[in-house]
């Protein structure tokens, strides 16, 4: 373990598995006390991973963490989650919005209920948790907010359009990630003079996590999960005066900072 994040409290969402779990483990290894949250508290045969498993792995490695289950699509549960984290640990210095729900389907047949759920999880929940976190960050004069986004938020090239853009069903996913990116930029601008860094990080290529496997997203052209954890770590610890307002794709960003050649 190192001490780069010693004395810091980090709230990381979607930490029962995948990218959120890896980011939480990295922040804990750097000395942060991490509040973990997701819906799956105990192991369930329907899913890979749980909050209790992530918590055990962090503590067994010498880190400090708590686990608070919550359904982040519910505004009341978001508020209750945040209040419990503050009560048990204090207000977070670092907020990582990673929790997600993803459905892939052409736009003309996309069910309204699922559209609304995806906007709730990818846009409204991150904004709500940021709004809850900002007052204490502003009072301290420092803070870091990171949204885990996707290259799907970039506009597709065309016309002509690739077969992937035509058939993959990423329209709604791209919309919510584009909105998340715009929110990131706006918050970064609004909070710049408060010493609060707001950034977004996206894997340059799919990462072979359980969720990506379920959606058949990571069979080829994948990248190691260490790239997103390194990117997240740097964006959650960088100087808010110079490292804010970034929509950082892992590989270009890590080459820029000299971590990748």
Confidence of residue 214 (pLDDT cuts 50, 70, 90): very low
Quote the number of domains for the chain.
1
Kindly give, in sequence order, each residue whose CB lies less than 8 Å from that of residue 89, ignoring residues fewer than 6 positions away: 9, 33, 35, 66
For residue 39, give the CATH number of its domain.
Answer: 3.40.50.720
Mean pLDDT of the chain: 94
The pairs formed by 131-136 with CB atoms below 8 angstroms and a separation of 24 or more are 132/78, 132/79, 132/82, 133/11, 133/82, 133/91, 133/92, 133/95, 134/191, 134/194, 134/196, 135/91, 136/91, 136/92
Residue 261 falls within a domain, yes or no? no
Residue 161 falls within a domain, yes or no? yes
Residue 2 falls within a domain, yes or no? no
Taking only the tens place, the pLDDT of each residue in 180-209 is 999 999 999 999 999 999 999 999 998 876
Active-site positions read 173
Average pLDDT, integer, range 76-84 = 98
Residue 243 falls within a domain, yes or no? yes
Structural domain of residue 48, as residue ranges?
9-256
Confidence of residue 218 (pLDDT cuts 50, 70, 90): very low
Confidence of residue 46 (pLDDT cuts 50, 70, 90): confident
């Amino acid at each position: 373990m190192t001490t780069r994040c010693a004395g810091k409290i980090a709230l990381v969402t979607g930490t029962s598995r995948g990218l959120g779990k890896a980011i939480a483990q990295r922040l804990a290894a750097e000395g942060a006390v991490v509040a973990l949250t997701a819906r799956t508290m105990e192991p369930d045969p329907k899913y890979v991973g749980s909050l209790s498993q992530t918590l055990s792995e962090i503590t067994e490695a010498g880190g400090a963490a708590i686990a608070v289950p919550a359904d982040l699509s519910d505004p009341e549960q978001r508020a209750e989650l945040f209040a419990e984290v503050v009560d048990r640990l204090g207000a977070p210095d670092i907020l990582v919005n990673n929790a997600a729900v993803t459905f892939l389907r052409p736009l003309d047949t996309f069910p309204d209920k699922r559209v609304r759920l995806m906007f709730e999880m990818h846009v409204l929940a991150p904004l709500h948790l940021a709004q809850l976190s900002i007052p204490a960050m502003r009072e301290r004069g420092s803070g870091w907010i990171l949204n885990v986004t996707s290259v799907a938020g970039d506009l597709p090239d065309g016309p002509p359009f690739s077969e992937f853009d035509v058939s993959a069903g990423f329209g709604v996913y791209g919309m919510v990630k584009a909105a998340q990116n715009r929110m990131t930029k706006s918050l970064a601008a609004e909070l710049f003079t408060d010493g609060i860094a707001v950034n977004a990080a996206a894997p340059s290529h799919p990462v072979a996590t359980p969720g990506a496997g379920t959606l058949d997203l990571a069979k080829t052209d994948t990248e190691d999960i260490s790239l997103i954890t390194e990117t997240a770590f740097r964006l959650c610890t960088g100087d808010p005066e110079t490292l804010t307002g970034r929509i950082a794709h892992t590989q270009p960003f890590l080459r820029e900072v000299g971590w990748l050649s």
